Amino acid sequence: MSLPVHLVPSLDGVSVGTTVTVEGDEAHHAVAVRRTRVGERLVLTDGRGRTITGSVAGTGKRLLSVLAEAVEDLPAPAPSLVVVQALPKGDRGELAVEVLTEVGVDTVVPWAAARSVAVWKGDRATKSLGRWRATAREAAKQSRRPWHPTVADLASTSDVVALVTAADLAVVLHEDATEHLAAFEAPSAGTVLVVVGPEGGLTDEEVAAFVGAGAVSVRLGAEVLRTSTAGVVACAALLSRTSRWGA
């Protein structure tokens, strides 16, 4: 069974034999919720590639100290995988973020598409973005990721066009596309971008803007997937043909 993973703000300067202190909510979750005890082994990560494996040296109400027994620095995954996720209705946004994080996506970009049912404005935007980021953080720990994904600020269509232009490979999932995703190989480095539309589908103008910026409109298969699951299926198909998944 894998060791539990906890996130800390920084592991800079930590070496074998260093005692690392975990405080606040993360320590509370370990001590009060998971009932971690002195002597148990666990993993700490800063979410930026550095992890330590160690034994719990002490606990408090909102405090946990861990003696580092091994330190590992892992390179950022390549290629970098970015998903532009149109805002879904209800809690399907958090579901999308959760499964995208679990499959290995490096950046999730919430997008206010023309046909998105959900609207992020004011306090709702702040709270919704906070929930997406919290979901990504917890899913990254659950899936034992040393590099945690970034959930970007809400993007407009013009922002997405700029992302498409900068990507090494950009695909737009579209049920009416004639090209199949299976025909494309992900590059070994750089950035792969996947654009996922909302429940109501992409507009012709959105597809034209993305294709004009260099994206390829593709379909996954005969079935039409929900917006909350289409992204993870597309990413899995791409990752299966990269060194990230052993290809």
Q: Which residue ranges make up each domain of the chain?
A: 5-73, 80-245
Using the predicted structure, report yes or no on whether residue 246 has a pLDDT greater than 80: no
Q: What is the value of pTM for the model shown?
A: 0.93
Rg (CA), the chain: 20
pLDDT in tens, 199-232: 999 999 999 999 999 999 999 988 888 999 999 9
Residue 73's pLDDT is what? 96
Four-way CATH pick for 5-73: 2.40.240.20, 2.60.120.10, 3.40.50.800, 3.30.9.10 = 2.40.240.20
Report the largest interatomic distance among the alpha carbons of the chain, rounded to a whole angstrom.
Answer: 60
Using the predicted structure, report yes or no on whether residue 118 has a pLDDT greater than 80: yes
Using the predicted structure, report yes or no on whether residue 22 has a pLDDT greater than 70: yes
The answer to whether the CB of 143 falls within 8 A of the CB of 7 is no
191 pLDDT band, cuts 50/70/90, is very high
Residue 90's pLDDT is what? 86
Four-way CATH pick for 80-245: 3.30.930.10, 3.30.1370.160, 2.60.120.560, 3.40.1280.10 = 3.40.1280.10
| AA letter at 115 | R
Residue 198's pLDDT is what? 95
50-60 and 63-73 beta bridge pairing:
antiparallel
Residue 1's pLDDT is what? 65
